[in-house]
Structure 1
């Protein structure tokens, strides 16, 4: 195709003038590489496709005001930001808080990833330590031992309503603490290593 012979910079210039062929060429040229990176960081191919599609949608929407010196750097930064935004949104859910508590870096042999994971682990332990003893015990039984509210209530001699209260209190507190770690989470190996 004609556009394949043009540089990214030339195509971006044409894109500012709503050149659909330029957009299609950029899409064809960079989509797969970005998808591989996103898939590797998120470990979810469908979500990776969605985020890369969103990246290109935003590229088209902002085409008239786009000022890019290095398109690859722009794509890398944009994708990283989309992943961070996704992490922050998911931190609103209890399921994601549970995932983080069990997560491990995808490339644990990398020193940087291991150090960052250690920092995250310590932060989570500190957050758990701030919970009242009974609340922490209920949370750990539920999330780590996979016990139901009824089983926990029977073991601790408490009502199920009380167990629900402790779980609500713990997840709400931890969610707030974890939101402060969103950027660190996105920097871990299982989200972003900076290389496809």
Structure 2
């Protein structure tokens, strides 16, 4: 029997019984549509791919508990929620970068120092953007919102060990990627 001839409802029934081929058929039917929708709204190919992928990971992980009547509507609403979460996180990141800029007001620096501050801010923003989404979120909640590991674990519904892993991963990554800027800033403050 060809899975392509089955309806979404029939495929969802197979999916609830852990049928990977049924999942693959649903993925093939809808992934590109979800990607295009996300890309049209966010205008970022990498983010659109990541969100479409995350949508189907969620579908697979919750396959036995989901009771879906209209799959395209469900996927559309779920993708919309993922995009809203993404936008909300980016707004938070911009807010934190604005706070960093305010902490070091440009008028107190010479032109060279202001350029270095802008370069540091850009480097932090670029480094944060390279982190996986969950790792970035954990880092921001810990370092900018000053939440404890326990508070982050409760908010994200993850184990404390997972939060510790994400924090270790993010701080190691940022240390490596911002090493040159740290040296410049140490010299700046010592001079």
- Number of aligned residues: 112
Q: Contact conserved, 1:39 with 1:48, CA < 8 A, in 2?
A: yes
Q: Evaluate the alpha carbon distance shift between residue 96 and residue 75 of structure 1 in structure 2; reply closer, same or farther with a 3 A threshold.
A: farther
Deviation (angstroms), 1:153: 3.8
Aligned to 1:24: 24
Q: Evaluate the alpha carbon distance shift between residue 66 and residue 60 of structure 1 in structure 2; reply closer, same or farther with a 3 A threshold.
A: same
Deviation (angstroms), 1:2: 1.2
Do structure 1's residue 60 and structure 2's residue 60 form an aligned pair?
A: yes
Aligned to 2:35: 35
Structure 1 portions without partners, runs of 5+: 99-137, 140-147, 161-196
Q: Contact conserved, 1:8 with 1:71, CA < 8 A, in 2?
A: yes
Deviation (angstroms), 1:21: 0.4
Q: Contact conserved, 1:39 with 1:45, CA < 8 A, in 2?
A: yes
Q: Contact conserved, 1:91 with 1:97, CA < 8 A, in 2?
A: no
- 1:23-102 matches, within 5 Å, as 23-94=23-94
Q: With the length of structure 2 as denominator, give the TM-score of the two structures.
A: 0.51
Distance in 1 separating the partners of 2:70 and 2:92: 34
Specify the SS of the correspondent of 1:64: coil
Aligned to 1:9: 9
Distance in 1 separating the partners of 2:44 and 2:18: 32
Q: Which has the higher helix share?
A: 2
Distance in 2 separating the partners of 1:87 and 1:96: 14
| Cα deviation 1:113-148 (Å, max 9, x = unaligned) | xxxxxxxxxxxxxxxxxxxxxxxxx97xxxxxxxx9
Q: Evaluate the alpha carbon distance shift between residue 4 and residue 42 of structure 1 in structure 2; reply closer, same or farther with a 3 A threshold.
A: same
Deviation (angstroms), 1:97: 8.1
Deviation (angstroms), 1:89: 1.4
Specify the SS of the correspondent of 1:87: helix
Deviation (angstroms), 1:90: 1.5
Moved over 4 A (4+): 95-98
| Cα deviation 1:5-47 (Å, max 9, x = unaligned) | 1101100010000000000000000111110000011110011
Distance in 1 separating the partners of 2:21 and 2:108: 63
Distance in 2 separating the partners of 1:77 and 1:96: 29
Distance in 2 separating the partners of 1:32 and 1:14: 22
Q: Contact conserved, 1:55 with 1:78, CA < 8 A, in 2?
A: yes
